[in-house]
Amino acid sequence: MPLDKIGKWVGEKLVQLKEKGILKGKELVITEIKKSQGTKSPRYLIEGEGKKEFIKMNSNSYLGMSLKKEVIEAEKEAAEEFGVGPGAVRFIYGTFKPHLELEKKLARFHQKEAGMLFSSAYAAVCGILSPLISSETIVISDTLNHNSIINAIKLSKPKDKKIYIHLNMDDLETKIKECRGNCRRVIIVTDGVFSMRGDHSDFKELVNLAKKYHPEFKEGVFTIADDSHGVGAFGKTGRGTSEVSGENDVDILVSTLGKALGVNGGYVVTNAKIVEYLRETAPFYIYSNPITPPEANAALKALEILNSQKGRKMLSYLKEMTIYFKKGLTDLGYETIKGEHPIVAVMIRDTQKTIKLVNYLKEKGILAVGLKYPIVPQGDECIRFQISADHTKDDLDDVLKTLREYKNK
């Protein structure tokens, strides 16, 4: 019975999570997807809910790529040609043609010299930060950065870490100044789009600050951004926060293939020297399988669609629907956060009210995510809706109608 003693401790931990209101509990299982029909976007069937159909207002697949016929075909073709798995890590013959082609095309898409794939964006963030952080590095990070950045910093053991107030460039500048004389290298790390709120960094301001103080540190000041929710969802051509922020760009960009591109996996794009170094030193890259060759081929197709006239149309429609939905919410008296990203956070500002509204929406066949403390700061409790290019105006009208009924109840 070697696990009986730890079992008691684990049980107590689970009770604590429940008491804190952060236990995720039983996962909801999708058993069937009904494809788009007429003015109806795809509908989802869920285990235990019989034939009831749900609309997903909480999907990261902002362009609906995961269900696109051409993307599915690309995955099938590569599975026939290369098999379904890489069979090894990259340096032990786990590198296939679609991996290299995808790395090259991602780099070109972001106008960087080189790209590098990881099994996920989470692995990419954790994989690159530790080889770039020395014992003489101070990392400066936004308060609301994604969990992958928080854990990557912990893993990397920098000389020090500093947290700046969310999106506050004055505070960031103060923190950079505090590093003077205390380290050789400063790394500023941030999310592009912040997943809980849909607001975003201004890369231009960030890069300008890095440039301003770069000469004062022996190994310089540089920027790393994770734009997993920005790429493919934001900007006229889907280049994410870089595009929305203007022409300046971060030094190292991380993103995912598992959200707007609809597939799975993560990547980094930056200059060729850094990629060469990371391939030799990033443990999550060296000692872990890459995405499968079929996944890489599917991502190549999704990227090709994104980077075409069709992709631009999808992005323009996505923006139009986001603005439409936000206006509908405002007209109903709901509070939202300014911006045009398809993450639409409806601020409820109370835990119990958030839970109640999420349950009501589910009862009415609408899936949305309730974000409560401590996932968001106390008082920022909200419901996160995510618009997709698959959604139709009729879909959004139905959701708004349900929200109106709830308000009038």
Ligand X SMILES: Cc1ncc(COP(=O)(O)O)c(C=O)c1O
**Which parts of this chain interact with ligand X (CB under 6 A)?**
120-122, 146, 148, 191, 195, 226, 228-229, 256, 258, 266
> Nearer to ligand X by C-beta: 233 or 403?
233
Q: How, if at all, do strands 252-256 and 266-270 pair?
A: antiparallel
Whether the Cβ atoms of residue 300 and residue 102 lie closer than 8 Å to each other: yes
> Nearer to ligand X by C-beta: 65 or 403?
65
Query: Which residue in 128, 149, 301 sits closest to 228, CA to CA?
Result: 149
Smallest distance from ligand X to CB 388, Å: 16
Smallest distance from ligand X to CB 125, Å: 7
Whether the Cβ atoms of residue 159 and residue 136 lie closer than 8 Å to each other: yes
Active-site residue flag, 110? no
Helix, strand or coil, per DSSP, at residue 211: helix
Outline where DSSP puts E strands in 57-209: 114-118, 137-142, 160-164, 185-191
> Nearer to ligand X by C-beta: 41 or 59?
59
Dig out the tokens for 255 from the structure.
């993103």
> Nearer to ligand X by C-beta: 191 or 251?
191
Q: Is 223 exposed, middle or buried (0-12, 13-18, 19+ CB in 10 A)?
A: buried
Dig out the tokens for 66 from the structure.
């995961």
Active-site residue flag, 255? no
CA angle 81, 85, 90 (to 5 degrees): 105
> Nearer to ligand X by C-beta: 266 or 290?
266
Active-site residue flag, 195? yes
Out of 229, 301, 319, 326, pick the active-site residue: 229
CA angle 298, 231, 317 (to 5 degrees): 90
Q: Which amino acid is at 156?
A: S
Smallest distance from ligand X to CB 216, Å: 30
Beta bridge partners of 153: none
Query: Which residue in 151, 164, 161, 166 sits closest to 182, CA to CA?
Result: 161
Dig out the tokens for 147 from the structure.
């969990």
Smallest distance from ligand X to CB 189, Å: 11
Beta bridge partners of 186: 138, 221
Q: Which residue number places its CB atom closest to ligand X? A: 120
Instruction: Find the helix packing angle between 351-363 and 393-408, rounded to 10°.
Output: 130
Smallest distance from ligand X to CB 120, Å: 3
Smallest distance from ligand X to CB 184, Å: 28
> Nearer to ligand X by C-beta: 66 or 256?
256
Dig out the tokens for 394 from the structure.
């009729």
Smallest distance from ligand X to CB 39, Å: 30
Q: Which amino acid is at 331?
A: D
> Nearer to ligand X by C-beta: 120 or 336?
120
Out of 56, 162, 200, 259, pick the active-site residue: 259
Instruction: Find the helix packing angle between 97-109 and 69-82, rounded to 10°.
Output: 140
> Nearer to ligand X by C-beta: 195 or 223?
195
Q: What are phi and psi of 292, to 5 degrees?
A: -75, 155
**Which residues, 6+ apart, have CB-to-CB distance to 197 below 8 Å?**
144, 337, 343, 345, 382
Smallest distance from ligand X to CB 366, Å: 21
Out of 66, 195, 242, 245, pick the active-site residue: 195
Q: What are phi and psi of 340, to 5 degrees?
A: -120, 15
User: Catalytic residues, which ones?
Assistant: 195, 229, 259
